[in-house]
Amino acid sequence: MTPTTPARALLADDHALVRAGLRQLLEQTGQVTIVAEADDGLPVPDLVAAHQVALAVLDISMPHLSGLDLLPILRRRFPDLKIMMLSMHTDAEYVREALRRGANGFVAKDTRPETLRLALAQVLEGQTYG
């Protein structure tokens, strides 16, 4: 069996420590390599294009352009991009809205690392998680 190449991913969250921890967790799965990071939503579309990103992991609440506001922009420009939303907001309405706007998955920031790995695998396989 040939090992698969990790997906090129972008991680966008406005908290540097959260990004560092998520980067470590995501890369430890062997499923992704973080090739770009952002601390707000504005540069995300250009970073996705410049780094040929296959997966965007986005915080919902970011300055200038939220993850929710990014979703329709990314869907129009990159219809094949996999998008996983992260949030401290666990209200079902946030999940529904993120999925309605085009997210492939939604994970609460207080979730267990095993759940993050499962969500990541499902999203990368083209399934919906959340």
Per-residue pLDDT tens for 14-47? 999 999 999 999 999 999 999 999 999 999 999 9
Half-sphere exposure of 87 (CA within 13 A, CB side): 22
What pLDDT digit, counting tens, does each position of 90-130 carry?
788 888 999 999 999 999 988 999 999 999 999 999 999 98
How many CA atoms, within 13 angstroms, populate the side-chain half-sphere of residue 14? 14
Note the pTM of the prediction, 2 decimals: 0.92
Categorize the per-residue pLDDT at 2 as very low, low, confident or very high, splitting at 50, 70 and 90.
very low
Instruction: Give kind and range of the element (H or E) at residue 49.
Output: helix 44-50
Q: How many CB atoms lie within 10 A of CB 96?
A: 12
- How far, in Å, CA of 76 to CA of 80, rounded? 10
3 band by pLDDT with thresholds 50, 70 and 90 = low
